[in-house]
A and B are shown apart, each in its own frame.
Chain A
């Protein structure tokens, strides 16, 4: 129980070690982060297009969305969305006569992280699209491309190099935001760490172990990001 004897056996993968539980929690965190991030990308792409090309009403609605999400703490948003979002969904389903829909914790977590990420991604992508030289898009128009084709063939691929640093940061934020789901009792890495620490009283050991896991996740992600970035930057002249 004192710090001088660290009981590494507590981290063993098999019970009575808690390593397996931690890894399962990490796996849950990654699942939510991946799901939320993907959902965020979809929402963000829609949001950015809406903000740039939408009608006045769409533009204003998007502005409200990104303003609210960027001004309110994630923790508060997560609580609101976790309870309100699923409740509204249930009520809507009930009103439409579907009865209650069964929302798993995983889906709720993905939904919550996704909505938050969506607002962030909207801003990142909007900035990246604005960074595409207007002439590139005009050339597409001049060759008879329809607006959708222009978006698919020119605007989106051309903005990618501008968006990647921002999107990489969003991914790192998304992995860390999963920890906030601990406060609604979702069994991701941070919560299982707290449970393990509470059950064994080895607080330092487990929190440090979880920190190391998050850090590894971050650093491995970062290596992958660099690889992707190097590929997306093909075509950009090397900085002279």
Chain B
């Protein structure tokens, strides 16, 4: 009991500001509504935007585009695959991380909180390099690892990228899930118990879905943030769309064009994500207060 309290106090000392407060400010979660698109000033703005796009097309060099279209599409595929796999894996880890912080015994609680604090307190780029160049260069020194069936994978770069992105997502989303689990009204859990649900059933049927439901808007933002993190893997030799564009930049020596295209690609991917999430959120409507 005393130990638990002490652990809680120690943990409180390192708790970072809640993640939910900034997700919407740092990730696009709502598309601007199309309504009222044709007000006079908007038409002028759109004309200006159109002019800019025209200038970009006319005065900048785009002749390289067809040659790299295939590579770009491949890169987008890799980016999306990374996003999907690491978000799903990360979420799977985030659930227990959030849960033990709400109900777990204190050693697990402290462990989960420490994990979240360390990951949230250091740059992802550094974590990525630590895993790939640091940990990755230690592995081959152990013959056991070198001979194991894992070695062909450990030789590659993507497992490290996936691991780093997964941990990152798990830490940020774990923090969100903690709030979501804690925020499910006690009464609803009590009602489930009153209807004779076992602990597992209560967790799977009521607590988890309800928490996920609560976390959905933030999950949307976290996924957009995760998409925005994926290009970092290019720095450890994974060929995602960012890496493809880097290569284009190096081969063509163009400064702006590939980057502008890249920004456009991410803009579209983000919009797609937002639309997908809007679809899911609409499935379970909640009355906005």
Contact = CB atoms under 8 A, between A and B. Distances in A.
A128 B276 CA distance: 28
Contacts of B32: 63, 67
A219 B256 CA distance: 38
Contact of B21 (A67, A121, A169, A207): A169
Given A120-B25, A169-B19, A71 B133 contact: no
Contacts of B25: 70, 120-124, 127, 166, 170
A176 interface: yes
B16 interface: yes
Interface stretch (A11-19, A145-153, A210-218): A210-218
Contacts of A180: 123, 125
Given A71-B267, A84-B255, A179 B21 contact: no
- B contact residues, range: 35 or more
Contacts of B231: 73, 75-76
A72 B26 contact: no
Given A80-B263, A120-B22, A127-B25, A225 B17 contact: yes
B262 A214 contact: no
A210 B130 CA distance: 10
A190 B125 contact: yes
B118 interface: yes
Interface in B217-235: 224, 227-232, 235
B255 A165 contact: no
Given A80-B260, A183-B235, A214-B123, A56 B41 contact: yes
A132 interface: no
A205 to B, nearest CB: 8
A140 interface: no
A166 to B, nearest CB: 5
Contacts of A193: 126
B271 A176 contact: no
Contacts of A178: 123
Contacts of B44: 57
Contact of B224 (A71, A76, A80, A127): A71
Nearest to A61: B45
Contact of A71 (B125, B141, B266): B266
A143 B134 CA distance: 64
B242 interface: yes
A184 to B, nearest CB: 12
B191 interface: no
Given A60-B42, A84-B256, A207 B129 contact: yes
B14 interface: yes
B263 to A, nearest CB: 5
Interface string B116-139: 011011111111011001110110
Contacts of A122: 25
A183 B44 CA distance: 38
Nearest to A182: B125
A218 B39 CA distance: 46
B126 A72 contact: no
Contacts of B24: 123, 127
A170 B26 CA distance: 9
A87 B259 CA distance: 14
B22 A169 contact: yes
Of the candidates B39, B120, B122, the one having the most CB atoms from chain A within 10 angstroms of its own CB is: B122
A139 B242 CA distance: 52
Contact of B22 (A79, A124, A214): A124
B18 interface: yes
B255 A207 contact: no
Contacts of A123: 24-26
Contacts of A165: 17-18, 21
Contacts of A166: 17, 21-22, 25
B14 A219 contact: yes
Interface of B: 14-19, 21-22, 24-28, 32, 39, 41-42, 44-45, 117-118, 120-127, 129-130, 133-135, 137-138, 141, 224, 227-232, 235, 242, 255-256, 259-260, 262-263, 266-267, 270-271
11 contacts: A57-B41, A70-B25, A71-B271, A120-B25, A165-B18, A183-B235, A193-B126, A208-B130, A211-B122, A218-B16, A222-B15
Q: 7 tightest CB-CB pairs across the interface, nearest first?
A: A123-B25, A179-B123, A218-B121, A207-B130, A71-B270, A169-B22, A73-B228
Interface of A: 2-3, 56-57, 60-61, 63, 67-68, 70-77, 79-80, 83-84, 87, 120-124, 127, 165-166, 168-170, 172-173, 176-180, 182-183, 190, 193-194, 197, 203-204, 207-208, 210-211, 214-215, 218-219, 222, 225
Given A120-B26, A178-B123, 10 more contacts: A76-B266, A79-B259, A83-B259, A170-B22, A176-B122, A208-B130, A214-B122, A215-B118, A215-B121, A219-B121
